[in-house]
Chain A
Amino acid sequence: KQEVTQIPAALSVPEGENLVLNCSFTDSAIYNLQWFRQDPGKGLTSLLLIQSSQREQTSGRLNASLDKSSGRSTLYIAASQPGDSATYLCAVGETSGSRLTFGEGTQLTVNP
């Protein structure tokens, strides 16, 4: 059974700092890995999707990496801004990506 763990559970940084969020999964036979952002009282917004054959994906100030063999992914946020404050969730897709197993999230606070 796939298990997804995210570290740290919460992170508070000053504005402008670069930061890394970590995600690990127990079963490396994955289809894809997605990073989501969740704002309070809102649904999830997909940030980046990495296919199992890829090593990384980039979108603006965000960069996500995937190391299937070690069961790890990182989300790198450059030059953080207060608007980045949210909960970031990592999710692993199995068997065509239909079934996502989520981590518990990292709650990020960027202080002005």
Chain B
Amino acid sequence: DTAVSQTPKYLVTQMGNDKSIKCEQNLGHDTMYWYKQDSKKFLKIMFSYNNKELIINETVPNRFSPKSPDKAHLNLHINSLELGDSAVYFCASSQEGDYSPLHFGNGTRLTVT
């Protein structure tokens, strides 16, 4: 009964392709996030959704488009993949308006060749 689950765990693809990463949480949280961890292990927020509405949109290329079909899901679609997109992408969730910690998924390691 994983709280935050992401698929796939590994994704290897060629430059120029379009790919999606899926995320689901069963914690009943209001807010979901996408974070990117680069090769230096530095984590940076990309997007945050609260009740299916975008509330944080950091400076990421518009090739990255999050989609939240419902409160429990936040998918990340990436168009025209580039070498620099190679990283580990983490989905997370939290209860909005509360001092609740973030719960992270196990990450998706994306490798663009």
Contact = CB atoms under 8 A, between A and B. Distances in A.
Interface in A1-56: 32, 34, 36, 41-46, 49, 51
A46 B31 CA distance: 16
Contacts, number: 57
Interface centre among B41, B97, B105 (most CB of A within 10 A): B41
B41 A46 contact: no
A100 interface: yes
Contacts of A32: 99
Interface residues of A, number: 23
Contact of A43 (B31, B48, B97, B105): B105
A25 to B, nearest CB: 15
A66 interface: no
A99 B102 contact: no
